Amino acid sequence: MNFLEKMKTWQDLINLRLDQALHSADLQPARLHTAMRHSMNAGGKRLRPILALAAHELFPGKHDPVPAGLALECIHTYSLIHDDLPAMDNSDLRRGRPSCHKAFDEATAILAGDAFQPLAFEILANAYIAEPELAIDLIQILAKTAGSLRLVGGQMQDLVSEGTVPDEDKLSYIHSNKTAAMIQAAIQMGFRLGSKGKVDRKMKQIGKVGHSLGLAFQAVDDLLDVSSTTTELGKDALHDIESGKITWVTLKGEDEARRLAAGHTNDARQFLKPVGGDSSFLNELMNFMLERNH
C-alpha cells in the first residue's frame, strides 16, 4: 500500500469508528446530536488521529490506538466549533459546510462543543480500562493539552492579540499552544500506546517531534490563508488577514513563513531519528503536511 492509499484507509477507519462512537442523530436531544454529527462529519482531514496511529506504528503495542485518535478528534472538533462562534473567530464556513452556529444556532453550537469534551475522556477511559496506568497517562496528556496552559490558553492569547502590534514572542506562544499542542499530544499519545510506559526516556524526544511538526503545520496554515481559495480550504480564505490576526505571513512575509515551515519540518525529522522504530509512514506524513493545499 502506498502512502496515499494507507492515509485513505486510516481516514476511512477513523470515520467509521467516529460514527460508532457518536450518539445517533435522532437520540434525544436530537438537535444536539445532529449538530455534533454535522461538525464531525464535515470532512476533516483527521490528521491528529492519523498522527497518533503513525506514532504508534514506531513501536506498535498490543493496544488499539484508534480510540486515542477519536478522543483527539473530539477535542479538535469542539475547538473548531467554538473557534467559529461570533464571540471568537466569527466564521461562517468550516470544513466546507456552514459552521455549527450557522447551521443551527449559537447555543446549540456551544453545547455541541461542550459535549465533545467529556466524550473524548469517556472514549479513553472505556477503551483502555483494562490497563488503568495507560488510561490515566493518555487522559493526563489530553487533559493538560486541552487546558488553560495550552489549547485554551493559546486561543485566549490569540483573541487578545487581535489588532495589536505583531510580536514574535506572542506569536510563538499562540502557535505553540493553540496549534502545536494538539499535534504534539497526538504523537505522544500514539507513542505512549506502544511504549513501555511514561518512564520511557523517548517520551520527551517524541514530544519535541510533535512540537516542531505543530509549528510547521501552523506556518503552512498561515500561508494557505493567503494562497488558497475558500473552496480549497473549506473555510474563508484571507480570514486571518482580514480579521487583523497576527500570523507569520503578516509578521514576516510569505517567504519567511515558507522557510519556517520547511525548517520546523526538518527539525521534526531530526528529532525523530534517534527515536528509531518504523518511522516510514510518519516521515511521509510530515511531507504531506508540509505540502498540503487545504
Residues from 154 through 173 that contact ligand GRG (CB under 6 A): 155
What is the contact mask toward ligand GRG in residues 60 to 79, using x (rule: CB under 6 A)? Answer: ----------------x--x
Q: Which stretch binds ligand GRG (CB under 6 A): 14-22, 97-105, 150-158, 250-258?
A: 150-158
Q: Tell me: does residue 39 bind ligand GRG (CB under 6 A).
A: no
Q: Tell me: does residue 17 bind ligand GRG (CB under 6 A).
A: no
- Beta bridge partners, 98, equal 93
Q: Which stretch binds ligand GRG (CB under 6 A): 42-50, 98-106, 123-131, 256-264?
A: 42-50
Q: Which stretch binds ligand GRG (CB under 6 A): 41-49, 189-197, 203-211, 248-256?
A: 41-49
In the bound state with ligand GRG, the residue whose beta carbon lies nearer, of 34 and 155, is: 155
Residue with the CB atom nearest ligand GRG in the bound state = 44
CA distance 96 to 156: 25
From residue 145, how far is each of 2, 41, 151, 181, 265 by CA, in Å?
Answer: 32, 23, 6, 6, 21
Q: Tell me: does residue 236 bind ligand GRG (CB under 6 A).
A: no
Q: Which stretch binds ligand GRG (CB under 6 A): 43-51, 100-108, 208-216, 278-286?
A: 43-51
Query: At its nearest, how many Å lie between ligand GRG and the CB of residue 248?
Result: 12
CB 69 within 8 A of CB 50: yes
In the bound state with ligand GRG, the residue whose beta carbon lies nearer, of 195 and 212, is: 212
Q: Tell me: does residue 261 bind ligand GRG (CB under 6 A).
A: no
In the bound state with ligand GRG, the residue whose beta carbon lies nearer, of 80 and 193, is: 80
Q: Tell me: does residue 44 bind ligand GRG (CB under 6 A).
A: yes
The position carrying cell 493559546 is 154
- The answer to whether the peptide bond before residue 29 is cis (omega within 30 degrees of 0) is yes
Residues from 201 through 220 that contact ligand GRG (CB under 6 A): 218
With CB under 6 A as the rule, give the number of residues binding ligand GRG: 16
Query: At its nearest, how many Å lie between ligand GRG and the CB of residue 95?
Result: 5
CA distance 81 to 228: 22
Query: At its nearest, how many Å lie between ligand GRG and the CB of residue 73?
Result: 8
Interface residues with ligand GRG (CB under 6 A) are 44-45, 47, 76, 79-80, 82-83, 95, 151-152, 155, 178-179, 218, 221
